[in-house]
């Protein structure tokens, strides 16, 4: 939502009339310009509000990034732990099999 931009319609109408516009043309042009400005121009507080929202989103992104990195590290540690346990199991089975076949 934008706020109304500062626009002096009366001064604009006078300026157009001095430039050769009829009163009706000048008023129509001023009304059209005022409507366009009302719909498309953002005030400083509008920009400030958007910047505040962007900063909040940036903080959320950083927080999620930290959580994701922590999850990746935990997954890697669990994977290596499972791999070490599997290697230990295979080594134990191989040792038992070697003793069994050695007799």
How close are the terminal C-alpha atoms of the chain, in Å?
Answer: 86
Q: What is the pLDDT of residue 5?
A: 54
Distances (CA, A) of 87 to 37, 52, 65: 71, 53, 33
Q: At residue 3, does pLDDT exceed 70?
A: no
Q: What is the mean pLDDT of residues 58-69?
A: 98
The CA distance from 74 to 81, in Å, is 10
pLDDT in tens, 29-56: 999 998 888 777 777 888 999 999 999 9
User: Region 13-29: what's the mean pLDDT?
Assistant: 95
- Give the separation between CA 26 and CA 14, rounded to whole angstroms: 8
Percent of the chain surpassing pLDDT 70: 94
What tokens were used for 9?
A: 């319609």
Model-wide pTM > 0.85 = no
């Amino acid at each position: 939502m934008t706020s109304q931009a500062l626009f002096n319609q009366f001064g604009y109408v006078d300026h157009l009339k001095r430039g050769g516009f009829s009163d009706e043309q000048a008023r129509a042009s001023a009304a059209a310009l005022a409507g366009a400005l009302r719909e498309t121009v953002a005030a400083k507080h509008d920009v400030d509000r958007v910047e505040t929202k962007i900063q909040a989103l940036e903080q959320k992104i950083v927080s999620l990034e930290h959580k994701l990195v922590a999850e990746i590290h935990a997954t890697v540690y669990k994977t290596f732990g499972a791999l070490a346990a599997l290697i230990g199991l295979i080594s134990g089975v191989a040792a038992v099999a070697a003793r069994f076949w050695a007799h």
